[in-house]
Amino acid sequence: MELDVRTEVRGDRTVVAAQGEIDLTSCETLRRALDAADDAATSGTVVDLTAVSFIDSTGLSVLVDGARHARGSSREFGVVAGGHLRELLRITGLDTVMDVGPTVDSAGGAAPPVSAQQDAPRT
């Protein structure tokens, strides 16, 4: 499956919305979008993964690099994920490296609502 990435500015943040699968063959598409978002004159970047059906380690690495670059520029970086992707970010510990929320408004600097934190219990 192909990866489709769309970028838009919402308020003071750049939202990068991905749809499809993020793997070795498609991760450069996401990397280019995150690089462009990092160059934007906004306070942060939110990556919306709600329409992503699969992400492998190369895709996760692109997210980590995006978070590192944003933080180096004193910008916020968040990820919108639910279901299995949110659980993957929790299991890998990446939810401690980047802000993960269930919506664009809750990711990237704002803590997720309490009800959202309870849908994926930590053990």
Domain boundaries, the chain: 4-109
For residue 120, pLDDT over 80 is answered with no
pLDDT digits (tens, 9 = 90+) for 11-42: 889 999 999 999 999 999 999 999 999 888 78
For residue 109, pLDDT over 80 is answered with no
Task: Report, as an integer, the average pLDDT of 65-93.
Answer: 93
pLDDT at 121: 40
Task: Report, as an integer, the average pLDDT of 40-48.
Answer: 89
In whole angstroms, what separates CA 81 from the centre of its chain? 7
What is the reported pTM? 0.83
- Neighbour-count burial for 47-73, b at 16+ CB within 10 Å, e otherwise: bbbbebeebeebbbebbeebbebbeee
Cβ–Cβ < 8 Å for 71, 40 = no
**CA angle, 18 then 105 then 68, to 5°:** 60
Task: Report, as an integer, the average pLDDT of 98-113.
Answer: 72
Domain 4-109 has CATH 3.40.50.2000: no
